[in-house]
Structure 1
């Protein structure tokens, strides 16, 4: 998919979607309203019937949210977008809008814990079959596609092991078997600044906009990006009637504000993560570092091919059991123990007991998530201070 926009990424993250002719406001206003008044019964009927465009009720659309949708669609190089009240709101809306009872979902075995629970456990209650496999094995992907496969779903980089999946390779493999499968990629870890899956043949991109898109830790939100047809279906059926996962206009305003600095934030997240990963790689308390920017990381070459930078997320495997791993995390100074990511602050969490506790012991092992795995969201602090915080904590394990 070629870029269809006149301006560059940084210009679009600031200006896209905003009509400054509205009272001349440089900063887009917040339309903090639940409903919109009609000039007449006939006008209301025309809007409900689709004969005339216009806003009706914020669950069905809102000017502040629409601005954000236009901006995110522009940054992902998509035709349209829908914003939701959470990342899981985006993921569940996209899946519920497009899957049918009796169909099959094929997903990578390493996913965010709640996504995994939805696909592997929740959807089965409604007659949807699912298989979780390793998407780095392309032949296995081809062999696992069934006549009733409706959706292929994966993340890259994966949460929390940072596994890199070759987007174009998977997309071409899926299309070679069954052309009408909907391919969904969670692009939360990379952001559209570093990676744009739609340009590599994917149908839908989803985000937890809570994370890097907002970037300030004060919003819960999600986004779905794709074709006009798909997004219309997600809005008219998924959000309106099924999930009701409507983003508040105030939160849309905050994300619009956060997006203005996405590129410069991501540049520093990447720089800090690279330096921290290199330090961690040489520390005796660390058994393994999972970071795409390290040359010996298994997905390094693929990441270099499909990403502009290697991101701000790192995971490390400690030479420690669960108890000592927890003690090390608890002893960290400066670094907050929290399960989100993409904030200005450096955050650390223990996936096996926190974000991925929906996995069984066997499922954790299959996904490569051990009790010694620690996930780090590298923040925007001075890198010397971040490194020193981890040095002090890890030295306790030597």
Structure 2
């Protein structure tokens, strides 16, 4: 079979390289291209569709022409053209097209008047960070802002957004749709806020970066347990935030992420399954990240505006400073969780406090606190809650109760590697003579 004279034969290796490149672009570059188009056209749906179409075209074009030197620039240009094609086809958007043409043809009097979609936002050195702040506009409900930003700027799927927020997928979809409708109805601009608005929107941005890292730390779906691209990106954004707004909570968040990321080399076994903190080989922990993280945690704790991320960083520092799992100062961690609960009385914090109390003062107290949380509907969808109950019940010798908790955990969405770990734990209980 000969190749077409109009289309060179494509080798399997070329296709493989193209798909691998497009796959990497889809995660790392997609958010920046989406941010550029959203700020230019002011329409999230249009921008997302155009980016997806551009990526699809890349899979067709790049095997013939080769991967461009700057895939991001190629995708940005292609996506802009596709968005303009859509606008031309939609008569209801004719007015928007006219405005875009007018802006494009206007001769700028000064370089500062260049199209803001073609350059990073002023004062915000990271394109994605500019969109993070833009999506936290105060006219949107707080919960809707977080869902919208996680979906469109952090690039999580709707299912991952639901998992991060401990809500059902339909609820997550409703929040995202509601936010987009409000943006359209009120004409909310996708432009970076003024410098004096940044502090008021900081809390929402910090939470999104934290939830991004959490999804990468333990995936809610897929085969692998971790997503290093998400955790690495979150650390980068946290560093930028601290540089932009140096204060206790930006420092605390960066410290927390670094101290958690330091455990990465010891978190998976040879089969890719998660290794519990107590069983990790601490000599494998990244000492450079630990040293930086502890120093940042101490710096954040010394500042007057310390809050929940600073307290969480202090908890992570206590773990980091213990040479072995047995030397962990669980009593101090329990106190820190009590302080954290004053700032954030949410269900996840209450689970963490129950686990810490159980480790510090006995599994009986821990399980009593966990059992009091069983009626919480959010926690019933939270896999780590059921894992905590399973581990505590097994420690108390209640293997039947532990098995039930493991089964409930396996009923919930999670990644395949964690499923394997839980299935092995459940099988170990079944083989126990006490079962």
Q: Which TM-score bucket, shorter chain as reference?
A: under 0.3
Larger radius of gyration: 2
Instruction: Name the structure with the higher helix share.
Output: 2
- Structure 2-normalised TM-score? 0.24
- Return the structure number with greater relative CO, CA threshold 8 A, min gap 6: 1
